[in-house]
Amino acid sequence: SRVVKLAVIPGDGIGPEVIAEAERVLDAVTANSDVTFEKTRFALGAARYLETGDTLTDADLDAIRAHDAILLGAVGGTPGDPRLKDANIERGLLLKLRFELDHYVNLRPSKLYPGAPGPLANPGEIDFVVVREGTEGPYVGNGGSIRRGTPHEVANETSVNTAFGVERVVRFAFDLAERRRKKLTLVHKTNVLVHAGGIWKRIVDDVAAEHPDVTVDYLHVDAATIFLVTDPSRFDVIVTDNLFGDILTDLAGAVTGGIGLAASGNINPDGAFPSMFEPVHGSAPDIAGQQKADPTAAILSVALLLDHLGLRDEAVAVQQAVEADVAARTGSRTTAETGDAIIARLQA
């Protein structure tokens, strides 16, 4: 029987609450299959940092790298907490994992499930995937500032876009579009960001020539936010840079029934490093510790994880259990009650 080594990082805030349910679902769906998940827990996040001063040590990273995949809840403290330096956990832990493990595809599917409490009056069918570049753009952290504390302070954050980095994620997006409805939308801001936008546009045009059956269009990011609300069914695969993808996928989550439903995968398609699966949302300090968080995004992240590992039947079973549960939801539930309901569907 197959053994999968899974690193579990519950994280901060609602992270441990939603990961508890995700693990229960994973246990339930693999209970009678011939795959065994050997889990290692990593206590990483703002809480650990406040205790020890460590974000992600080399030893942590080496240990995580030795796993087949990673399941992460959410990391980060309350925005503005003076004890946490800005970006410490985000950059020192989450982005460090994504960069060191070369998660160049940040895959964020959005689907409006029947019965989901979407905010749109006439949503139509919503079923698209954002392929967000995961290792470059303004996230690389090679900015800087000078003359801090003076009226002449200058602060820069440079967006890094390499031909190698853009081409590999664009190729992934085209391959995905080929397997879906064959429509690809590049989102950028070429009217202002001429260099960064220019390389994306040129590479998309070049790769498009190899995919004559994929319809390609382009939207500026501001216009894309309009259409995500007014005409979301126009989208199939959206490919975009790291920052635009971050912003669009919170909006996409809201449009498809709430951020509590939005799952994601940080994929290293080459398989050289373990891929990492996590909800799109954060640690939600405003509701942490109250059993108010919706664990569905974490549970759907388990479905993405199973699919990535080639465990198709298990992935589909989780996906279908979630869909059936979403369609039947009424009133408010605790985090664990939603886990229970999804597990009951799995076992039905």
- Please enumerate, by residue number, every residue annotated as part of a binding site: 98, 108, 132, 222, 246, 250, 282-294
Point out which residues pair with 337 in neighbouring strands: none
CA distance linking residue 343 with residue 348, whole number of Å:
9
Looking at residues 236 to 265 of the shown chain, list those that interact with Mn ion (rule: CB under 5 A): 246
**90 binds Mn ion per the rule CB under 5 A:** no
Point out which residues pair with 105 in neighbouring strands: 133, 267
- Which three-class secondary structure state does DSSP give residue 239? strand
Residue 200: closest CA among 232, 161, 148, 248: 161
CA distance linking residue 292 with residue 78, whole number of Å:
17
19 binds, among ligand NAD, Mn ion, ligand IPM, none (CB under 5 to 8 A by kind): none
Judged by CB under 6 A, which of 176, 186, 284, 342 binds ligand NAD? 284
**90 binds ligand IPM per the rule CB under 6 A:** yes
Tell me whether residue 10 or residue 282 sits nearer to ligand IPM (CB atom). 282
* Segment interacting with ligand IPM, rule: CB under 6 A, options 35-43, 90-98, 182-190, 338-346: 90-98
Do the Cβ atoms of 56 and 330 come closer than 8 Å?
Answer: no
List the catalytic residue out of 68, 189, 236, 241. 189
Do the Cβ atoms of 219 and 190 come closer than 8 Å?
Answer: no
104 is an active site residue: no
Tell me whether residue 12 or residue 236 sits nearer to ligand NAD (CB atom). 12
* Segment interacting with ligand NAD, rule: CB under 6 A, options 20-28, 57-65, 195-203, 279-287: 279-287
**50 binds ligand NAD per the rule CB under 6 A:** no
Phi-psi region of 13 (alpha: psi -120 to 50; beta: other; left: phi over 0): left
213 is an active site residue: no
**280 binds ligand IPM per the rule CB under 6 A:** yes
Looking at residues 231 to 250 of the shown chain, list those that interact with ligand IPM (rule: CB under 6 A): 246
222 is an active site residue: yes
Looking at residues 203 to 222 of the shown chain, list those that interact with ligand NAD (rule: CB under 6 A): none
95 binds, among Mn ion, ligand IPM, ligand NAD, none (CB under 5 to 8 A by kind): ligand IPM
Structure tokens of 238?
């959206």
Do the Cβ atoms of 259 and 287 come closer than 8 Å?
Answer: no
CA distance linking residue 172 with residue 237, whole number of Å:
10
Structure tokens of 115?
């019965």
Tell me whether residue 138 or residue 260 sits nearer to ligand NAD (CB atom). 260
Q: List binding-site positions for Mg(2+).
A: 222, 246, 250
* Other Cβ atoms closer than 10 A to 193: 17
Judged by CB under 6 A, which of 6, 69, 94, 97 binds ligand IPM? 94
Looking at residues 134 to 193 of the shown chain, list those that interact with ligand IPM (rule: CB under 6 A): none
Residue 276: closest CA among 62, 99, 46: 99
Sign of CA dihedral 254, 307, 93, 96: negative
Binding residues for ligand NAD (CB under 6 A): 14, 18, 74-77, 79, 90, 94, 259-260, 278, 281-287, 293-294, 297
Binding residues for ligand IPM (CB under 6 A): 76, 90, 94-95, 246, 280, 282
